[in-house]
Amino acid sequence: MSGAFVIAGAKINGEDVGTIAVRDGVLIDPTDAGTGATRIDADGLVLLPGLVDLHTHLREPGREDAETIESGSRAASRGGWVAVHAMANTNPVADTAGVVEQVWSRGQEIGLVDVFPVGAVTVGLKGERLSEMGAMAQSRARVRLFSDDGICVYDPVIMRRALEYVKTFDGAIVQHAQDLRLTEGSQMHEGDVSAELGLAGWPAVAEESIIARDVLLAGHVGSRVHIQHLSTAGSVDIVRWAKARGIQVTAEATPHHLLFTHEEARTYNPLFKVNPPLRTSEDVEAVREGLADGTIDIVATDHAPHASEDKDCEWAAASFGMLGLETALGVVQQVMVDSGRMTWKDVARVMSHTPARIGRVEASHGRLLTVGEPANLTLVDPASRWTVDPSALASRSHNTPYAGRELPGRAVATFLRGTPTHLDARFEGAFA
Amino acid sequence: MKHLLGTKGMTREDAVLILDTAAQMAATQDREIRKLPTLRGKTVVNLFFEDSTRTRISFEAAAKRLSADVINFSAKGSSVSKGESLKDTALTLQAMGADAVVVRHWASGAAYQLAHGGWLHGSVLNAGDGTHEHPTQALLDAFTMRKHLMNTDGTGVDGKGLDGLRVAIVGDVLHSRVARSNMHLLTTLGASVALVAPPTLLPVGMDSWPVDVFHGLDDALDAQPIDAVMMLRVQRERMTGGGASFFPSPAEYTRMFGLDGQRMARLADNGIVMHPGPMNRGLEISAEAADSPRSVIVEQVANGVAVRMASLYLLLAGEEQS
C-alpha cells in the first residue's frame, strides 16, 4: 500500500474535525497527498490511534481448534486493534525464545496485527523456577512483558526474583492476582449470589491480598508490576494507594468487568464464567471510577476463546473465559463514553497510548496522530448500533457473553502501517 | 407447573397444593391395591449423575405407583471425566421421548440447564443439584412437619402452611442443598428458621436470608422452643482432611452441634427430630435421638414417595388439563 490516501471529516481523537493523509505507511501532511490520493469520507466517524491490547489469548500453539494466530489476528483487526500481546499459556508454553519467536513471526506472516508474545515467568507456568526471560527478551520477539496468566505467580520469593530480574531489560511482571489456596474449586464471586446458587465462592480478598503483596514487593525492589483484570473495589483502592506512594504499578480493566455483575450467573450460563469472576455492582462502579480517574491505566480484553464443548456444559465443568476482541470498543463506548465519564481522547489513552507504553512497544504503537508517525489507525462509527452474532465473529470460537446484545461503537476501518486490515463494506470500494 | 427446579420463588399456593396432593397420594397408599393409573403411557427417566440409591428408588416407586414407565439412567461419568456431556445425554433422552426427567447431578445448576438449555421438551424435576437445591426433600420435610405439628385443632392439615412453627436446621449449611431448599420453602409456608452451624459451614453472603443464625445447638435451644430440629449429614472426610479445616475434630463438632438425648429433651412439647439421611450415628446425631419416639426419620422416607408422586402428578397430569 504505497498509494496515498486521505481520511477526511473524522473527529480526530473525538475532538476537532480534521483531515489526515497517509503514504508509505506513514502520516503525511494532507497538502502533500496529491490529487491522485484515495479519499475516504469519514464524516461522523472518530479517528483513534490504532488500539493495542495487552491481554489476548490466541491459543496457538496447542489449541488451534479454539483460536489460531490467524483467526485471532482477524478478530483483532475487526475490533480496531493493530497490536495484541499474546499470553503464554499455550501448549507448549511460551517459556523459551523458540516459542516466542515462532508466535511473533507467525503474527508478522499474517500481517493483520503485530503480535507481541508475552513470555512465561516460570517454566511451564508451574511457579517453581524462572523461565529464561533474558533469552526471550533478546530474541527477535523482543519480549518485555512476562506473565503466568491464568495462574498466579504465587510463591513470594519467585515473584520477588522475577520482578528484580526483568529490570535487566526494562521488562515488567504481569500478574494474574489470585490466591490459589483461597480459590480452590472456586466458581464465581463469593457473595449473596454464590450463597444462593450453591456455587463455590471466589472471594475478593483472594485478588486483593496478592495485589497488596505485589505492589509492596515492586516498591521494595524498585521494579515494574502490571496487574491484570482488576475486578474489585478493594483492588482499585490498593492500586490507588500504591500509585500515591510512587510505586511503579499499572493496572488493567476488562470490558466485561466494566459491564457485567455476578447476577449473570443466575442462569448458570457458562458464557459468563470468567476468571476473575464477575463481581458486584459496587465493584463494577469502582472499576469504572478507577478507569475514569486514571488509577486503572488501560482497558485490555482478556480475549479467551474456548471450544464449544468447554462451554456447553455444567457451570462447574466449564472453562473460564470469554471472547473480547471484537466487542471491547463497543463496551467501552457504552459504559464510559456515552455515559460522559470519558472522552474519546481518554479512550485513545487507555486503549492505545498507555498499553503501548506499558508493553514497551511505544516506538511503533500508541503514537500521536501527527505527521511522520506510523499510520496505525482505527476509525470508529460511534453512531452505529450492532447486534452481536456469535457466528458472525471472526474468532474461531463463539463464547461471547454479548450474544444477542446490542452494542454501539464498531470499528469500521483499521490500518496497520497504512495497510487496511479491516474495512467496513462502505469503504471496500475505496481500496479496490 | 412445567418444571420443579427449586423452592426458591415457589408460591405458597403451589407449595400447599403439592402438600395437599401428597396427602391424597399418601391416603391411596393405605389401600390394598396401591397402584394408580394416572400416568399410564408416560415415561419418566431417572437421570442420576451422582449415586443416590435412596432418592432414586423413592422416585422410582413414586412413578411406578402412578403407572408411569420408568427408565433408570445412571450417568456416572461427567463432562469432567470425559463421559457423555449433559447436553448429549439430554438430546438422547429427548429422542427417547421422556415426558419427565428426574435429575440428580453433582453440579449446581444442572437441573436449570436441562430445563432451559433447549435440549429437551419434557418436564425437569430436580432431585438435587450440587450444593444448590433439593426441592422434593424440602417438600417431604414440610409435609412431615405439617402432619405432626399443624393438626392442633383436630381439623386436619389440608390447605395449611407451617405458620408459627420454629424449625432449626443444624450442620453443614454451606454445602447443603437440603438446607437451602428448606429455608426457602419453610419461610414461604410461614415457619421461622434457625440455621445452626459453625461460621465455617455457613456461606458468606447470606446476610439477607430470612433466618436466625446460631453457632451452637445449645444457643438455639436456649433462644426459643424448637418444634422441629433437622440434623444435616456431616461429611467427615470433607470437613477436617486435606487442609479444609471446617472444624477442628469430629469430637468437637459433636460436642457443639450434635443432637443427643439431653438436647432432644429441650425441644418444644411434641417437638420432632428429623434427618434427611443417611445418618452418621454418633457424629451429628446420637442413637438415642435417632431411635426415640420423637424421631420421624423413617416416616420422612415414606412421605418422600407421596411427595414425589404428587410432584410427578402435578407436572405430568396437570399439563393435559391446562
Interface test with B, best of A187, A196, A263 (most B CBs within 10 A): A196
Q: Name every chain A residue with its beta carbon within 8 A of the beta carbon of B116.
A: 267
Cα–Cα distance measured from residue A364 to residue A293, given in angstroms and rounded to the nearest whole number:
27
Nearest CA distance, B27 vs chain A (angstrom): 35
- Yes or no, beta carbons of A314 and B87 under 8 Å apart: no
Q: Do A377 and A307 share a domain, yes or no?
A: no
The pLDDT value recorded for residue B321 is 47
Q: Last residue of some domain: A324, A358, A392? A: A358
Regarding whether A309 and A239 lie in a shared domain, the answer is yes
Q: Is A191 within 8 Å of B180 when comparing Cβ atoms?
A: no
The nearest CA of chain A is from the CA of B126 a distance in Å of 14
The whole-number average pLDDT for the span B249-276 is 96
CB contact under 8 A, A314 and B204: no
CATH code of the domain in which A196 resides = 3.20.20.140
CATH of the domain at A10: 2.30.40.10
CB pairs under 8 A between A and B: 80
Q: CB A312 to CB B87 under 8 A?
A: yes
Q: What is the pLDDT of residue B242?
A: 64
A113 in the same domain as A154 = yes
What's residue A1's pLDDT? 45
Does the beta-carbon distance from B180 to A268 stay under 8 Å?
no
What per-residue confidence (pLDDT) applies to A179? 98
* Record: contact A316-B180, CB cut-off 8 A: no
Rounded CA-CA distance B300/B140 in Å is 7
Ordered domains of chain B (ranges, CATH): 12-131+302-321 (3.40.50.1370), 135-300 (3.40.50.1370)
Nearest CB partner across the interface for A314, out of B107, B133, B204: B107
**A103 lies in the same domain as A209:** yes
Note whether residue A321 is domain-resident.
yes
Is A192 in Cβ contact with B109 (below 8 Å)? no
Helix (H, G, I), strand (E, B) or coil at A41: strand
Is A134 part of any domain? yes
* Residues of A belonging to the active site: 302
Cell numbers representing residue A45 in the block: 466517524
pLDDT at A158: 98
Check whether residue A42 and residue A164 sit in a common domain: no
From the list B85, B180, B206, which residue is nearest A309 (CB)?
Answer: B85
Report how many domains make up chain A. Answer: 2
Shared-domain flag, residues A421 and A312: no
Nearest to B130 among A193, A198, A203 (CB): A198
ipTM: 0.93
CA B268 to chain CA centroid, Å, is 23
Q: How confident is the model at residue B320 (pLDDT cuts 50, 70, 90)?
A: low
Instruction: List residues in chain A touching B: CB distance below 8 A.
Output: 181, 187, 190-201, 203, 267-268, 309, 312-317
Instruction: Write out chain A's pLDDT in tens, 432 residues.
Output: 457 999 999 999 999 999 999 999 999 999 999 888 999 999 999 999 999 999 999 999 999 999 999 999 999 999 999 999 999 999 999 999 999 999 999 999 999 999 999 999 999 999 999 999 999 999 999 999 999 999 999 999 999 999 999 999 999 999 999 999 999 999 999 999 999 999 999 999 999 999 999 999 999 999 999 999 999 999 999 999 999 999 999 999 999 999 999 999 999 999 999 999 999 999 999 999 999 999 999 999 999 999 999 999 999 999 999 999 999 999 999 999 999 999 999 999 999 999 999 999 999 999 999 999 999 999 999 999 999 999 999 999 999 999 999 999 999 999 999 999 999 998 988 886
Evaluate if residue B134 carries a pLDDT over 60: yes
Q: Where are the alpha helices (DSSP H) in A5-125?
A: 69-78, 97-110
Examine residue A333 and state whether it is found in any structural domain, yes or no.
yes
* One domain for residues A193 and A331: yes
pLDDT at B78 over 60: no
Chain B residues touching residue A313 (CB < 8 angstroms): 79, 85-87
**Given this model, what pLDDT does residue B322 score?**
41
| More confidently predicted of B1 and B14 | B14
The answer to whether position A399 is within a domain reads no
Q: Cβ contacts (< 8 Å) between B207 and chain A: which residues? A: 192
Q: Where are the beta strands (DSSP E) in A358-430?
A: 377-387, 406-416, 419-423
Chain B CA closest to residue A193: B205
pLDDT per position as a tens digit, B54-72: 999 999 999 999 999 999 9
**What is the average per-residue pLDDT within B93-117?**
94
Measured distance CA(B243)–CA(B245) in Å, rounded: 6
Residues of B in contact with A191 (CB under 8 A): 204-205
pLDDT of B303 reads 96
Facing A198 at nearest CB: one of B80, B132, B209: B132
Q: Is residue A158 part of a domain?
A: yes
Q: Hey, which residues does A56 pair with through a beta bridge?
A: A86, A303
Residue ranges making up the domain that contains A128: 50-358
Does residue A364 form part of some domain? no
Other beta carbons within 10 angstroms of residue A234's beta carbon come to: 18
> Per CB distance under 8 Å, which residues of B are interface residues toward A?
8, 78-80, 85-87, 105-110, 112-113, 116, 129-133, 177, 180, 203-209, 243
Q: How far is A400 from chain B (nearest CA, A)?
A: 17
Residue A396 lies in a domain: no
Q: Which of B319, B313, B315 is nearest to B36 (CA)?
A: B313
Question: How many CB atoms are closer than 10 A to CB B210?
Answer: 11
- Sign of the alpha-carbon torsion through B167, B10, B103, B240: negative
Q: Give the pLDDT band of residue B293 (cuts 50, 70, 90).
A: very high
Q: Residue type for A296, please? A: I
Residue A202 sits in the same domain as residue A75 = yes
Sheet bearing B69-74, strands edge to edge: B69-74, B43-48, B100-105, B123-129
Residues A344 and A380 in one domain: no
pTM over 0.90: yes
The answer as to whether A296 is a domain residue is yes
State how far the Cα of B275 lies from the Cα of B277, in Å rounded to an integer: 5
The residue ranges of DSSP E strands in B79-180, in sequence order, are: 100-105, 123-129, 166-170
Per-residue pLDDT for B81 more than 90? no
Q: Give yes or no for residue B82 having a pLDDT over 60.
A: no
Name which of A181, A191, A312 is nearest B204 (Cβ-Cβ). A191
Length of chain B: 322
Q: Across the interface, which of A197, A198, A317 has its CB nearest the CB of B79?
A: A317
Instruction: Judge if A38 and A115 occupy the same domain.
Output: no
User: What strands, in cross-sheet order, belong to the sheet with A114-117?
Assistant: A51-56, A81-86, A114-117
Residues in chain A: 432
Distance from the Cα of B108 to chain A's closest Cα (Å) equals: 6
Q: What pLDDT does residue B317 have?
A: 87
Do residues A129 and A261 both lie within one domain? yes
Band (pLDDT 50/70/90 cuts) for residue B250 is very high
Are A263 and A323 part of one and the same domain? Answer: yes
Of A251, A275, A255, the closest CA to residue A189 belongs to A275
